[in-house]
Amino acid sequence: MDVRAHVSVIFHLDKCIGCHTCSVACKNVWTDRPGAEYMWWNNVETKPGTGYPTRWEDQKKFNGGWKWDGKDKLETRCQTRADSFLKLFYNPNQPNLDDYYEPFTYKYDDLFTAKQGDDQPTAIPVSLITGEPMEIKSGPNWDDDLSGSPLYAENDINLDALTDEERNQLFEIERLTMFYLPRICNHCANPTCVAGCPSGAIYKRGEDGIVLINQEKCRGWRACVAACPYKKIYYNWKTGKSEKCVLCFPRLETGQPPACFHSCVGRIRYMGVMLYDADRIPDAMKVPDRALVESQRNAFLDPNDPDIIAAARKNGISEEFIDSAKNSPAYKYIMEWKLALPLHIEYRTMPMLFYVPPLLPVMGKSANGTYTHDAKNFFTSLDDARMPMKYLASLFSAGNDQIVEDVMRKLMAVRYFKRWQSVKDMDENEVYKILREANTTPEEVEEIYQMTAIPTHFQRFVMPPLQREESIESTCSPEVCKGCTGFSLEPAFNPRA
């Protein structure tokens, strides 16, 4: 058993209002640089929708993630070791600028310097790459709130799981539904980007599992961009290096949650330590699609088990990390309550970012276009769910609707129970029956309610005091030991004006 600690993340989608504050916080901290304008290490997508980059989930096109041969072999879909050398010259799996969008700004100066005339001066859009005037055709959240759009939402690849009838129902005028999906790097436990990097520049930090790119070792071969199925590695066209979300590790190391976490208006984000058995990776990902979620859960270890604690200590995991793992909201959501699910686990990268699927759009469906929110039947049943379970299963459980349904049932039970507690508009037996059916107890419901609705900052972010004081820095220069700090503001070359 090779016990490792991982800083793991929960996004509670029921609470996400799609305000993009997280994206902006990240942009201001990390990607406000030449060459990085188009990058959104954190972005928020509307689902159903095509996302950013457009149709990133289409692995037939981008070939990201792992391919399992059904037996014992797990290999990167985008390349083999041999043909990766040919792909240095031209990588057929790499998205190009048009798959994201051409970054732009406006010529605001023209508003002040335009000659006096009859017309109002305008600030025309110009490309941040060429500096030429351009027509804006897309942006990072171009399909924001555009559920039902034949251009965007209908091209959502997850809708393939639905029947035509379900699709039509989903996009019915005035009754369409949608939810938001904030995405950052998943800091996968079995990352394809690390495996795909020819230069060996990408690595996982042993202590907390953060995946980082050593900018000095990166040679700009772009294999990671193709290998990452979530398209969360971005190529900086100006420096010729790839970049990705660093989970704000400098903030983590000083005890602050990452910028996107800290700024989250809906407080949807949780961060905690998970202990997992590195020996079970990648074998845990060599199971059929439907079993993947459960298989990933099996790789996690119980932080309260004395044997596991002993093994963790032996493996160099600090007491602080072990304590954090015991109080981890991530462990509660993923393992105790089994409410949080990974995004697209069928890519087999073992993402360490988990989502609590949204209940609200599911509850919104009603007959004859009217919402029947009467006291008797305040919540509709899952069978009437407007957002089809199949769609959510396609996103969060590799098509296994049973898992999503279990989560939904529990989420709903929490609501029934809490409503009953204060309004008492139902029969007590009926409420307890719902709890039983959802496989939960009043105590657990209280806990879930506590953690979902009214958690404090320090309940949401249970981060160990990171190894600052005991990190290698005390024995050698951080530049030498870490190697990979930060990003240069200076481009590696001077482009012609």
Q: How many CB atoms lie within 10 A of CB 227?
A: 30
Min CB(442)–another protein separation in Å: 42
Which H or E run contains 133?
none
Min CB(57)–another protein separation in Å: 20
Q: Which of 108, 112, 458, 493 binds another protein (CB under 8 A)?
A: 493
Min CB(478)–another protein separation in Å: 9
Q: Which of 125, 139, 240, 250 binds another protein (CB under 8 A)?
A: 240
**Per CB under 8 A, 81 contacts another protein:** yes
Contact 213, 242 (CB under 8 A): yes
Taking each helix axis from N to C end, the angle separating 389-396 and 401-423, rounded to the nearest 10 degrees, works out to: 110
**Per CB under 8 A, 31 contacts another protein:** no
Return d(Cα 188, Cα 307) in angstroms, integer.
25
Local structure of 363: helix, strand or coil = helix
Instruction: Give 284-350 as a DSSP string.
Output: GG-S-GGGHHHHHHHHEE-TT-HHHHHHHHHTT--HHHHHHHHT-HHHIIIIIS---EES-GGG-S-
Min CB(174)–another protein separation in Å: 41
Q: Which of 205, 251, 386, 390 binds another protein (CB under 8 A)?
A: 205
Part of the chain binding another protein (CB under 8 A), chosen from 130-138, 161-169, 414-422, 432-440 = 130-138
Return d(Cα 161, Cα 135) in angstroms, integer.
35
Alpha-carbon separation of residue 381 from 377, 385, 413, 419 (angstroms): 9, 7, 11, 16
Min CB(105)–another protein separation in Å: 14
Q: Which of 12, 222, 231, 365 binds another protein (CB under 8 A)?
A: 222
- The interface with another protein within residues 172-201 (CB under 8 A) comprises 190-191, 194-195, 197-200
- Which residue number, 219 or 297, has a Cβ lying nearer to another protein? 219
**Per CB under 8 A, 129 contacts another protein:** yes
**Could you give the string, one character per residue 446-475, with x where binding to another protein holds by CB under 8 A and - elsewhere?**
---------------------x--xxx-xx
Residue 255, Cα to own-chain centre: how many angstroms? 22
Q: Which of 121, 237, 311, 378 binds another protein (CB under 8 A)?
A: 237
**Could you give the string, one character per residue 253-292, with x where binding to another protein holds by CB under 8 A and - elsewhere?**
-----------------------------x----------
Q: Which of 120, 130, 429, 477 binds another protein (CB under 8 A)?
A: 130
Q: What is the SS3 assignment for 23-65?
A: HHHHHHHCCCCCCCCCCCCCEEEEECCCCCCCCCCCHHHHCCC
Local structure of 169: helix, strand or coil = helix
Local structure of 10: helix, strand or coil = strand
Chain residues binding another protein by CB under 8 A are 81-82, 84-86, 88-92, 94, 96-97, 129-132, 190-191, 194-195, 197-200, 202-207, 215-222, 235, 237-241, 282, 315-316, 318, 467, 470-472, 474-475, 481-482, 488, 492-496
